[in-house]
């Protein structure tokens, strides 16, 4: 997966927000990541530690990760269910006409700054 | 120590790329250039398919190619030898292309366009994998992927997002069907389960078999884009 690439995007966006808000130092960034976004948290944290060191504005910034649970909706029986447990097949009626309603997110939630 | 405060951001990391991709699409539309984002696993036959496609389109569309190999220019040189206008994109080790990198490549291609040979169709040979490229909008007018017979007919089950984002799936290397337990009908069903609107073209890039309907689809799509 593209953990390092994603970290670069986060740093780009955080720097833009910091500039708009006269921030001198970023202490912590909180991300909200969908359960099935495919991002491996361990790899993301490693990439983060490596990449922020190069940024004077956020050289020691911490990374917090909050998980958004994955939910799939069934078009046949109109109910939803946890994606990770049941995958593409609806546990209520066995249908495959299902789609993901949440769990694919990758959001910068907030940042603690000085 | 300054004052510590919290800034609410609530911004999708993909939102910025999506915005840039939409801007690029609008610019391409205004220029009359159709951008096709071509994705696949390594070795599925992208370069061979591009060569066959170029031959089939000769006299109908002006085609150019952007090659996104991580660290070589063999594909761009192969295109060059066929007379296809081509440039090499430098991905800097990234596992996918985003809208910014694509826009840079297009500027490089524009330099190769002439008034009597404008670029109707620009094809982007994306980085070879079935996961990362599917997640980033490049600003393309359409997405296509190549699935080759030796990879197996279950790929739509294993890489759902890739099949969801593709308008076209080319099933390549059909000449080797007798040697693999690849079921063309089953493969078709699995693709359509992920994406009911997918156009599926079985081809043999090596001999050119099946390339004609695909070339016709490209001509119709480019004309509609330019209309
Ligand atoms: N039998 C058969 N072989 C093919 C066909 N198309 C491509 N090949 C062979 O598959 C190999 C890879 O083809 P390429 O066109 O280089 O594939 P690619 O996707 O561009 O490869 P990378 O850029 O390295 O990822 C070559 O040896 C081709 O000759 C086909 O239709 N049938
Ligand atoms: Mg190639
Ligand atoms: Zn159901």
> Please, which residues bridge with residue B123 across strands?
B36, B65
The complex's ipTM works out to: 0.87
Domain count, chain A: 1
Q: Mind listing the pLDDT tens digit for each residue in A29-53?
A: 999 999 988 888 999 999 999 999 9
B4 part of a folded domain: no
Q: Ligand 1: which of B47, B67, B176, B178 to mutate, most ligand atoms within 8 Å of CB? A: B47
Q: Which residues in A1-114 belong to E strands, given as ranges? A: 26-34, 62-68, 71-74, 80-82, 98-102, 106-113
CB contact (8 A) between residue B9 and residue A23: no
Domain count, chain B: 1
B193 part of a folded domain: yes
Residue A7 with chain B: CB contacts under 8 Å: none
What's A78's domain CATH number? 3.30.2320.80
CB pairs below 8 Å between A and B: how many? 72
DSSP annotation of A69 = P
The pair of structure tokens assigned to A102 is 């949440």
Q: Mind listing the pLDDT tens digit for each residue in B130-178?
A: 988 998 999 999 999 999 999 999 999 889 889 999 999 999 999 999 9
Quote the minimal CA–CA distance from B94 to chain A in Å. 7
Q: Mind listing the pLDDT tens digit for each residue in B20-57?
A: 999 999 999 999 999 999 999 999 999 899 999 999 99
Q: What's the gap in Å between B2 CA and the centre of ligand 1?
A: 59
State the Cα–Cα distance between residues B119 and B83, nearest whole angstrom: 14
Q: Does A15 touch chain B (CB under 8 A)?
A: no
Residue A83 with chain B: CB contacts under 8 Å: none
User: Which residue range forms the structural domain that includes residue B90?
Assistant: 16-226
Task: Give the three-class secondary structure for B43.
Answer: coil
User: Which residue range forms the structural domain that includes residue A12?
Assistant: 3-113
Q: Which of B138, B76, B145 is nearest to B112 (CA)?
A: B76
Looking at A88-92, B65-69, B102-106, which range is the least confident one? B65-69
CB contact (8 A) between residue B96 and residue A38: no
State the Cα–Cα distance between residues A87 and B136, nearest whole angstrom: 23
B2 part of a folded domain: no
* Nearest ligand 1 atom, CA B67: 23
What's B169's domain CATH number? 3.40.50.300
Residue B70 with chain A: CB contacts under 8 Å: none
B71 part of a folded domain: yes
């Amino acid at each position: 997966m593209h953990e390092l690439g994603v970290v670069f995007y986060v740093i780009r966006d955080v720097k833009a927000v910091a500039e708009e808000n006269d921030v001198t130092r970023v202490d912590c960034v909180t991300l909200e990541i969908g359960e099935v976004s495919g991002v491996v948290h361990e790899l993301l944290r490693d990439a983060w530690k490596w990449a922020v060191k190069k940024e004077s504005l956020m050289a020691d910034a911490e990374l917090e990760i909050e998980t958004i649970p994955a939910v799939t909706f069934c078009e046949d029986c109109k109910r939803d269910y946890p994606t990770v447990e049941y995958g593409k097949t609806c546990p209520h009626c066995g249908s495959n006409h299902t789609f993901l309603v949440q769990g694919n997110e990758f959001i910068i939630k907030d940042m603690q700054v000085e | 120590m300054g004052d510590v405060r919290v800034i609410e951001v609530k911004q999708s990391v993909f939102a910025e790329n999506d915005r840039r991709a939409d801007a690029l699409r609008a610019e391409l539309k205004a220029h009359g250039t159709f951008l096709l984002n071509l994705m696949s696993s390594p070795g599925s036959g992208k370069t061979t398919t591009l060569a066959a496609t170029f031959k089939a389109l000769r006299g109908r569309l002006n085609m150019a190619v952007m090659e996104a190999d991580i660290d070589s220019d063999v594909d761009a040189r192969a295109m060059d030898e066929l007379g296809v206008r081509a440039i090499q994109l430098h991905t800097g080790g990234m596992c996918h292309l985003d809208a910014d990198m694509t826009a840079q490549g297009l500027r490089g291609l524009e330099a190769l366009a002439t008034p009597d040979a404008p670029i109707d169709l620009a094809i982007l040979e994306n980085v070879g994998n079935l996961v990362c490229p599917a997640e980033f909008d490049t600003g393309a007018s359409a997405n296509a992927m190549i699935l080759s017979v030796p990879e197996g007919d279950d790929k739509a089950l294993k890489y759902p997002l890739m099949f969801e984002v593709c308008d076209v799936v080319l099933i390549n290397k059909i000449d080797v069907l007798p040697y693999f337990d690849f079921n063309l009908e089953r493969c078709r069903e699995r693709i359509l389960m992920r994406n009911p609107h997918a156009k599926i073209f079985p081809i043999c890039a090596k001999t050119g078999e099946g390339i004609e309907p695909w070339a016709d689809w490209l001509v119709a799509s480019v004309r509609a884009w330019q209309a």
